[in-house]
Amino acid sequence: MSDTEAIQTPPPSLASYTAGQLDVIAELRRIQELEGLSDGKFAQKHLTIHASNWGRVKAGTYGADTASVMNKLETNLRQIRVQRAQASKLTGGGPFHDIVSQRAVLDAVTLAKLKPDDDCERLVVFLAETGGGKTRLGRELTIQHDGIFVEASEPWRKSYYAAVCDIARAAGVSEADLGTSEYKAQRALLARLRTNRRVLVIDEG
């Protein structure tokens, strides 16, 4: 062999993965198929490896550090499982039916998030009769935007303070910061929302 010749190490095939690693790959593929995502979109949404590497892993042609990439994929799968479990708990496991009126609300919220800081017109209201999907839509918004979901309660009708406190607690404001006055509770809530900008979803119940 001459000095210019290089020893080519063949890339690992799927047979080189352990049974556990094959299970991880198979489950990730099933999730990708269920979500109908390309390798690029799936990697962007769920993975910490490049889309091209994910494609090579699936094909069994990934030739770099297999152990390292599989560790990342196993971590990604655990995170997906947690996210799906949380989503199932929030929605009751029911599917989200993407009807036109609800899609309009989802799009409006997405656009509202893109507005500049000096534009305060970010309120989106969805009105529907009982059974019209308001709660299910609110929960879907919470999932898609990592939002704060709050169910309105009867005391809100007579007490602004009760409403502010319930919303503030859902946003993560401590009892100490809430205080005992409407003014202090409102200031604490606004401060929290300004420092941790998230979609606030209120279901009128």
Q: Does pLDDT of 121 surpass 80? A: yes
pLDDT band at 98 (very low <50, low <70, confident <90, very high): low
As a whole number of angstroms, the distance between CA 63 and CA 142 comes to 40
Q: Does pLDDT of 119 surpass 80? A: yes
The pair of three-digit structure tokens given for residue 99, joined into one six-digit string:
């009807």
DSSP bridge pairs for 150: 202
As a whole number of angstroms, the distance between CA 14 and CA 185 comes to 58
- Cα torsion 50, 55, 58, 59: sign: negative
Domain ranges of the chain: 14-91, 100-203
Stretch 68-84: mean pLDDT: 85
What was the pLDDT predicted at 10?
A: 41
For 91-94, which contacts have Cβ atoms below 8 Å and span 24 or more sequence positions? 91/136, 91/139, 91/140, 91/143, 94/136
Single pTM value for the model:
0.52
Q: Does pLDDT of 81 surpass 60? A: yes
- Return the higher-pLDDT residue of 134 and 91: 134
pLDDT band at 94 (very low <50, low <70, confident <90, very high): low
What was the pLDDT predicted at 96?
A: 54
pLDDT tens for 16-54 read 778 888 888 999 998 899 888 899 999 988 899 999 999
pLDDT tens for 152-191 read 999 999 999 999 999 999 988 988 899 889 999 999 999 9
What was the pLDDT predicted at 3?
A: 47
What was the pLDDT predicted at 79?
A: 82
The DSSP letter of residue 203 is: E
Q: Which CATH architecture has domain 100-203?
A: 3-Layer(aba) Sandwich (3.40)
pLDDT band at 147 (very low <50, low <70, confident <90, very high): confident
